[in-house]
Amino acid sequence: MIIVMEKDSGDESVENVVGELSRRGFDVHRSTGAERTILGVVGNVETLDPREFELMEGVHEVVRVSEPYKLSGRAFKRENTVVRVRDIEVGGDQVVVMAGPCTIESEEQVARTAEKVSRAGARILRGGAYKPRTSPYSFQGMGVDGLKILRAVADSHGMATVSEVMEIRQIEGMLPYVDILQVGARNMQNFSLLAELGRVDRPVLLKRGMSSTIQEWLLASEYLMSGGNYNVILCERGIRTFETYTRNTLDISAIPVVHKLSHLPIIADPSHATGLRDKVMPLARACVAAGADGLLIEVHHQPENALCDGPQSLYPDQFIKLMDELRIIVPAVGRSI
């Protein structure tokens, strides 16, 4: 932490600040310039609230230096993390596509959709069994019965599975069926849930909160990793901005930024970001071209009959076309698909 004093701060102010820091057990480097004094604070500064010093007499500004995230940063681990899910590697050479319906509705629905997406090249089957719905009257998901369907269908195509967990009490029951536990955007800062998932031996896909900075997102991943679960996949899904034409603004810049700051793999979800299927394909291509390690895409064999988010689900034929386009693009980023 660096404390920058005001230009005209007297010696007394400086001594006050230094005294307070010493009282708390920190070493202080003092640098007295022509213009002002700058104090460098050494020690475990994470426990300090910078605002306490900002409020002291004569202090101009307090700057945090060490980034508050540690385990997720490149400083902790230089090489990329590769998350292994069955025989699939997320964060490796291959761009991994996860596809399937928003919500599990029936065996027929999952089976027909999976057949299409699997043949087109998707490696992981998605499908929600527990749904966060804005209205209490909407369909709330099939629960474990749905997960059994997901597992069986995925197995018959050699696919892995990903499904959203909403509450701590659902975790246990999901483990037999789900290969990647997905944490939704609304739960990105549900710290109790994250802490619990940190103790589970299963990869977690952590979506970015709708109004979370990249730093807050990496901090949330820290909750998982500090519990011992290092198999974290980040997922950009759009942020809230003043532009209302699209549901959210997909922050594609976050892909290269996360790759620079962190060793964790990052995928993107263009379906939720845009909310309309005719925007899903161009943005899916853009994410892969920007270097995403994978995609999470909603596909339904009959979107017009979907119980949830039909308008953002691709038709199987659109998904097949998209995969063909992605196959053209991936060599440009040195990957395969």
Positions 119 through 138 that interact with a copy of itself (CB under 8 A): 132-137
Closest CA relative to residue 112, chosen from 61, 157, 179, 167: 157
Q: Residue 107 Cβ, how far from a copy of itself at the closest point, in Å?
A: 24
Nearer to a copy of itself, 6 or 115 (CB): 6
CA dihedral 30, 33, 37, 42 (to 10 degrees): -30
Q: Which residue intervals of 157-205 are DSSP H helices? A: 168-174, 191-197
The interface region with a copy of itself, picked from 116-124, 147-155, 157-165, 322-330 by CB under 8 A, is: 322-330
In the set 144, 175, 290, 320, which binds a copy of itself (CB under 8 A)?
A: 290
CA distance 241 to 210: 9
Chain-centroid distance of CA 75 in Å reads 19
Query: Within 251-270, which residues bind a copy of itself (CB under 8 A)?
Result: 251-257, 260
79 binds a copy of itself (CB under 8 A): no
Subset of 212-241 contacting a copy of itself (CB under 8 A): 213-215, 219, 223, 226-227, 239-241
Q: What are the residue ranges of helices labelled H in the chain?
A: 11-23, 50-54, 107-120, 144-156, 168-174, 191-197, 214-225, 254-261, 270-274, 277-289, 316-329
Q: Minimal CA–CA distance to 330: which of 289, 281, 270? A: 289
Residue 185 is which amino acid? A
Q: What is the pattern of x (binds a copy of itself, CB under 8 A) and - over residues 97-116?
A: --------------------
For a copy of itself, the binding residues in 6-25 under the rule CB under 8 A are: 6-8
| Residue list 28-57, contact with a copy of itself (CB under 8 A) | 29, 31, 33-36, 38, 40, 42, 46-47, 49, 51-52, 54-55
**168 CB neighbour count, 10 Å cutoff:** 13
Q: Does 192 bind a copy of itself (CB under 8 A)?
A: yes
Query: Residue 60 or residue 157: which is nearer to a copy of itself going by CB?
Result: 60
Candidates 18, 202, 291, 320; binder of a copy of itself (CB under 8 A) is: 291
Give the whole-angstrom CA distance, residue 203 versus residue 294.
15
Judged by CB under 8 A, the stretch of 87-95, 112-120, 174-182, 328-336 that binds a copy of itself is 328-336
Which CB sits closer to a copy of itself, 231 or 313? 313
